[in-house]
Protein backbone atom coordinates (compact mmCIF):
# COMPACT_ATOMS: atom_id res chain seq x y z
CA UNK A 1 0.00 0.00 0.00
CA UNK A 2 1.14 3.56 -0.56
CA UNK A 3 0.99 6.47 1.89
CA UNK A 4 -0.41 9.02 -0.56
CA UNK A 5 -3.14 11.21 0.98
CA UNK A 6 -3.33 14.07 -1.52
CA UNK A 7 -2.85 14.53 -5.24
CA UNK A 8 -1.77 17.85 -6.71
CA UNK A 9 -2.28 18.52 -10.41
CA UNK A 10 -0.52 20.99 -12.59
CA UNK A 11 -3.16 22.55 -14.87
CA UNK A 12 -1.64 23.56 -18.25
CA UNK A 13 -0.77 20.41 -20.16
CA UNK A 14 -2.11 18.04 -17.48
CA UNK A 15 -5.82 18.73 -16.95
CA UNK A 16 -6.22 20.64 -20.24
CA UNK A 17 -4.07 21.04 -23.33
CA UNK A 18 -3.43 24.76 -22.89
CA UNK A 19 0.34 24.19 -23.22
CA UNK A 20 -0.20 24.35 -26.98
CA UNK A 21 -1.99 27.74 -26.69
CA UNK A 22 0.97 29.11 -24.69
CA UNK A 23 3.34 27.86 -27.39
CA UNK A 24 1.28 29.33 -30.25
CA UNK A 25 1.14 32.74 -28.57
CA UNK A 26 4.89 32.84 -27.75
CA UNK A 27 5.72 31.68 -31.29
CA UNK A 28 3.51 34.41 -32.75
CA UNK A 29 5.28 37.01 -30.63
CA UNK A 30 8.70 35.68 -31.63
CA UNK A 31 7.71 35.62 -35.32
CA UNK A 32 6.55 39.25 -35.09
CA UNK A 33 9.97 40.16 -33.72
CA UNK A 34 11.65 38.34 -36.61
CA UNK A 35 12.72 34.95 -35.22
CA UNK A 36 11.26 31.52 -34.61
CA UNK A 37 10.52 29.50 -31.47
CA UNK A 38 10.79 25.74 -31.88
CA UNK A 39 8.73 23.17 -30.02
CA UNK A 40 11.95 22.00 -28.38
CA UNK A 41 12.83 25.51 -27.14
CA UNK A 42 9.26 25.79 -25.88
CA UNK A 43 9.87 22.95 -23.38
CA UNK A 44 11.95 25.43 -21.34
CA UNK A 45 8.96 27.76 -21.04
CA UNK A 46 6.70 25.16 -19.48
CA UNK A 47 5.89 25.57 -15.80
CA UNK A 48 7.62 28.92 -15.36
CA UNK A 49 6.02 32.34 -15.03
CA UNK A 50 4.94 34.62 -17.88
CA UNK A 51 7.82 37.07 -17.38
CA UNK A 52 10.45 34.36 -16.98
CA UNK A 53 9.12 32.84 -20.21
CA UNK A 54 9.37 36.20 -21.97
CA UNK A 55 12.98 36.57 -20.86
CA UNK A 56 13.83 33.17 -22.38
CA UNK A 57 12.02 34.04 -25.62
CA UNK A 58 13.92 37.34 -25.87
CA UNK A 59 17.20 35.56 -25.16
CA UNK A 60 16.49 33.11 -28.00
CA UNK A 61 15.89 36.12 -30.29
CA UNK A 62 19.03 37.82 -28.92
CA UNK A 63 16.95 40.84 -27.94
CA UNK A 64 18.49 42.40 -24.87
CA UNK A 65 17.75 46.11 -25.02
CA UNK A 66 14.12 46.28 -23.84
CA UNK A 67 12.91 48.33 -20.90
CA UNK A 68 10.65 46.89 -18.22
CA UNK A 69 7.73 48.78 -19.74
CA UNK A 70 8.38 47.41 -23.22
CA UNK A 71 8.56 43.90 -21.78
CA UNK A 72 5.25 44.43 -20.02
CA UNK A 73 3.65 45.43 -23.33
CA UNK A 74 4.95 42.24 -24.99
CA UNK A 75 3.83 39.98 -22.12
CA UNK A 76 0.38 41.56 -22.18
CA UNK A 77 0.13 41.11 -25.94
CA UNK A 78 1.04 37.41 -25.63
CA UNK A 79 -1.47 37.02 -22.82
CA UNK A 80 -4.29 38.61 -24.87
CA UNK A 81 -3.71 36.10 -27.70
CA UNK A 82 -3.57 33.28 -25.18
CA UNK A 83 -6.79 34.42 -23.53
CA UNK A 84 -8.65 34.46 -26.86
CA UNK A 85 -8.11 30.69 -26.92
CA UNK A 86 -8.84 29.82 -23.30
CA UNK A 87 -12.05 31.86 -23.30
CA UNK A 88 -13.40 29.48 -25.95
CA UNK A 89 -12.76 26.39 -23.82
CA UNK A 90 -15.56 24.13 -22.59
CA UNK A 91 -15.73 21.03 -20.36
CA UNK A 92 -15.06 19.04 -23.57
CA UNK A 93 -11.48 20.32 -23.43
CA UNK A 94 -10.66 18.34 -20.29
CA UNK A 95 -8.03 15.85 -21.45
CA UNK A 96 -9.13 12.21 -21.97
CA UNK A 97 -9.33 10.14 -18.79
CA UNK A 98 -8.83 13.09 -16.40
CA UNK A 99 -12.48 13.40 -15.33
CA UNK A 100 -12.75 9.72 -14.51
CA UNK A 101 -9.44 9.67 -12.60
CA UNK A 102 -10.47 12.69 -10.51
CA UNK A 103 -13.78 11.01 -9.69
CA UNK A 104 -11.95 7.86 -8.59
CA UNK A 105 -9.66 9.91 -6.33
CA UNK A 106 -12.63 11.67 -4.74
CA UNK A 107 -14.49 8.41 -4.18
CA UNK A 108 -11.41 6.96 -2.51
CA UNK A 109 -11.18 10.05 -0.24
CA UNK A 110 -7.93 11.47 -1.58
CA UNK A 111 -7.68 15.25 -1.34
CA UNK A 112 -7.08 16.95 -4.68
CA UNK A 113 -5.54 20.31 -5.54
CA UNK A 114 -4.32 22.42 -8.43
CA UNK A 115 -0.73 23.71 -8.31
CA UNK A 116 -0.17 25.98 -11.30
CA UNK A 117 2.15 28.87 -12.15
CA UNK A 118 -0.56 30.46 -14.28
CA UNK A 119 -2.43 33.63 -13.40
CA UNK A 120 -5.17 32.46 -15.79
CA UNK A 121 -5.90 29.25 -13.86
CA UNK A 122 -9.18 30.63 -12.44
CA UNK A 123 -10.53 31.45 -15.92
CA UNK A 124 -9.65 27.99 -17.22
CA UNK A 125 -11.18 26.17 -14.23
CA UNK A 126 -14.35 28.18 -14.67
CA UNK A 127 -14.52 27.48 -18.42
CA UNK A 128 -14.19 23.71 -17.88
CA UNK A 129 -16.68 23.63 -14.99
CA UNK A 130 -14.13 22.89 -12.25
CA UNK A 131 -14.27 26.20 -10.36
CA UNK A 132 -15.48 24.49 -7.18
CA UNK A 133 -14.17 20.99 -7.73
CA UNK A 134 -10.74 20.96 -6.09
CA UNK A 135 -10.05 21.05 -2.33
CA UNK A 136 -7.40 23.74 -2.95
CA UNK A 137 -6.28 25.85 -5.89
CA UNK A 138 -2.86 27.51 -5.75
CA UNK A 139 -2.04 29.47 -8.88
CA UNK A 140 0.27 32.18 -10.19
CA UNK A 141 -1.61 34.84 -8.24
CA UNK A 142 -0.74 33.24 -4.91
CA UNK A 143 2.99 32.65 -5.33
CA UNK A 144 6.15 34.74 -5.45
CA UNK A 145 8.42 32.12 -7.02
CA UNK A 146 7.53 29.81 -9.87
CA UNK A 147 8.59 26.23 -10.50
CA UNK A 148 11.17 24.73 -9.94
CA UNK A 149 10.74 26.56 -6.63
CA UNK A 150 8.56 24.33 -4.39
CA UNK A 151 6.37 27.22 -3.18
CA UNK A 152 3.28 26.40 -5.27
CA UNK A 153 3.16 22.77 -4.10
CA UNK A 154 4.06 23.57 -0.48
CA UNK A 155 1.18 26.06 -0.37
CA UNK A 156 -1.18 23.47 -1.83
CA UNK A 157 -0.12 20.88 0.77
CA UNK A 158 -0.54 23.50 3.47
CA UNK A 159 -4.06 24.40 2.28
CA UNK A 160 -4.94 20.71 2.18
CA UNK A 161 -3.37 20.18 5.62
CA UNK A 162 -1.40 17.21 4.33
CA UNK A 163 2.30 16.54 4.94
CA UNK A 164 4.23 17.14 1.67
CA UNK A 165 5.69 13.63 2.03
CA UNK A 166 2.18 12.24 1.57
CA UNK A 167 1.48 14.22 -1.62
CA UNK A 168 2.02 13.22 -5.20
CA UNK A 169 2.18 15.69 -8.09
CA UNK A 170 1.17 15.19 -11.73
CA UNK A 171 3.25 17.39 -14.03
CA UNK A 172 4.03 17.82 -17.75
CA UNK A 173 7.03 20.15 -17.25
CA UNK A 174 10.59 19.32 -16.20
CA UNK A 175 10.53 22.42 -13.95
CA UNK A 176 7.39 21.05 -12.29
CA UNK A 177 8.94 17.64 -11.57
CA UNK A 178 11.87 19.46 -9.97
CA UNK A 179 9.50 21.66 -7.95
CA UNK A 180 7.66 18.61 -6.61
CA UNK A 181 10.94 16.98 -5.57
CA UNK A 182 12.10 20.25 -3.98
CA UNK A 183 8.88 20.13 -1.93
CA UNK A 184 9.69 16.57 -0.80
CA UNK A 185 6.86 15.12 -2.89
CA UNK A 186 6.67 12.30 -5.43
CA UNK A 187 6.21 13.34 -9.04
CA UNK A 188 4.47 11.56 -11.87
CA UNK A 189 5.28 12.92 -15.31
CA UNK A 190 2.53 13.22 -17.92
CA UNK A 191 4.08 13.09 -21.37
CA UNK A 192 7.38 12.13 -22.96
CA UNK A 193 10.19 10.20 -21.28
CA UNK A 194 13.04 12.37 -22.57
CA UNK A 195 11.56 15.55 -21.05
CA UNK A 196 10.34 13.97 -17.80
CA UNK A 197 13.19 11.54 -17.10
CA UNK A 198 13.55 12.75 -13.49
CA UNK A 199 9.96 11.82 -12.60
CA UNK A 200 9.30 8.90 -10.22
CA UNK A 201 6.90 7.42 -12.77
CA UNK A 202 5.63 8.51 -16.19
CA UNK A 203 2.26 8.14 -17.90
CA UNK A 204 1.56 9.25 -21.46
CA UNK A 205 -1.98 10.39 -20.59
CA UNK A 206 -4.81 9.63 -18.13
CA UNK A 207 -6.66 7.13 -20.32
CA UNK A 208 -7.14 3.96 -18.24
CA UNK A 209 -5.11 5.36 -15.31
CA UNK A 210 -6.44 4.49 -11.88
CA UNK A 211 -5.29 4.65 -8.28
CA UNK A 212 -2.97 1.66 -8.78
CA UNK A 213 -0.64 4.14 -10.55
CA UNK A 214 0.60 5.09 -7.05
CA UNK A 215 1.95 1.57 -6.57
CA UNK A 216 4.65 2.48 -9.08
CA UNK A 217 5.98 4.90 -6.43
CA UNK A 218 6.39 2.35 -3.64
CA UNK A 219 10.10 1.90 -4.15
CA UNK A 220 10.75 5.61 -3.53
C1 LIG B 1 2.27 27.56 -16.56
C2 LIG B 1 2.66 27.24 -17.97
O3 LIG B 1 1.24 26.72 -16.15
O4 LIG B 1 1.84 28.92 -16.45
C5 LIG B 1 3.69 28.23 -18.48
O6 LIG B 1 3.21 25.94 -18.03
C7 LIG B 1 3.15 29.65 -18.31
O8 LIG B 1 3.97 27.94 -19.82
C9 LIG B 1 2.77 29.89 -16.86
O10 LIG B 1 4.15 30.60 -18.71
C11 LIG B 1 2.21 31.29 -16.62
O12 LIG B 1 0.98 31.38 -17.25
P13 LIG B 1 0.11 32.69 -17.40
O14 LIG B 1 -1.22 32.14 -17.86
O15 LIG B 1 0.04 33.35 -16.08
O16 LIG B 1 0.78 33.54 -18.44
MG1 LIG C 1 2.13 22.31 -17.27
Residue 220 pLDDT: 46
117 contacts: CB under 8 Å, gap ≥ 6: 47, 48, 49, 139, 140, 143, 146, 147, 152
38 & 131 share domain:
no
> Residue 68's CB: how many other CB atoms inside 10 A?
7
Cα three-residue angle 24-25-29, rounded to 5 degrees: 115
pLDDT score of 147: 96
Which CATH number fits the domain that encloses residue 38? 1.10.150.240
Look at residue 1 and tell me if it is in a domain. Answer: no
pLDDT tens, the chain, 220 aa long: 469 999 999 999 999 999 999 999 999 999 999 999 999 999 999 999 999 999 999 999 999 999 999 999 999 999 999 999 999 999 999 999 999 999 999 999 999 999 999 999 999 999 999 999 999 999 999 999 999 999 999 999 999 999 999 999 999 999 999 999 999 999 999 999 998 999 999 999 999 999 999 998 855 4
Do both 170 and 206 map to the same domain? Answer: yes
Task: Say yes or no: 31 and 122 in one domain.
Answer: no
pLDDT for position 216? 85
Residues 208 and 102 in one domain: yes
Give me the residues near ligand 2 (ion), CB cutoff below 5 Å.
Answer: 10, 12-13, 172-173
> Which residues form the pocket of ligand 1, taking CB atoms under 6 Å from any ligand atom?
12, 22, 45-50, 53, 79, 116-120, 140, 173
199 shares its domain with 100:
yes
d(CA 16, CA 89): 9
Q: Are residues 102 and 143 in the same domain?
A: yes
- For residue 173, the SS3 value is coil
Q: Is residue 55 part of a domain?
A: yes
Query: Smallest Cα–Cα separation from 152: which of 9, 29, 6?
Result: 9
Domain ends where: 27, 62, 86? 86
What CATH number should be reported for the domain holding residue 162? 3.40.50.1000
Distance between Cα 136 and ligand 2 center (Å)? 17
Same domain assignment for residues 102 and 148: yes
> What's the domain range around 176?
6-17+93-216
At 217 the pLDDT is 82
Q: Indicate whether 166 belongs to any domain.
A: yes
10 shares its domain with 51: no
Nearest alpha-carbon partner for 141 in 171, 123, 120: 120
- Count structural domains, the chain: 2
Which of 46, 78, 139 to mutate to test ligand 1, by most ligand atoms within 8 A of the CB atom? 46
Task: Clarify whether residues 67 and 119 are in a common domain.
Answer: no
Dist. CA 154 → ligand 2 center (Å): 17
Task: Identify whether 44 is part of a domain.
Answer: yes
Residue 120 burial class via C-beta count within 10 angstroms: exposed 0-12, middle 13-18, buried 19 and up: buried
What is the per-residue pLDDT for 2?
65
* Residue ending a domain, choose from 42, 60, 86: 86
pTM of the model: 0.95
Residues 82 and 117 in one domain: no
Same domain? 45 vs 10: no
- Shared domain check, 114 and 191: yes
User: Could you tell me if 11 and 122 are in contact, meaning their C-beta atoms sit under 8 angstroms apart?
Assistant: no
Atom of ligand 1 nearest to the CA of 47: 6
Chain center to CA of 158: 19
Amino acid sequence: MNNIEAVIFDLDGVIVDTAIFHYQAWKRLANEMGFDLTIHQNEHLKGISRFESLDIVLEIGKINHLTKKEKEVLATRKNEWYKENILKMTPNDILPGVKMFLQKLKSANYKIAIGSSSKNAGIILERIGYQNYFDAVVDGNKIAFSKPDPEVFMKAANELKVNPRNCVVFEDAAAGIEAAHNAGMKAIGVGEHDVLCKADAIISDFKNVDISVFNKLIKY
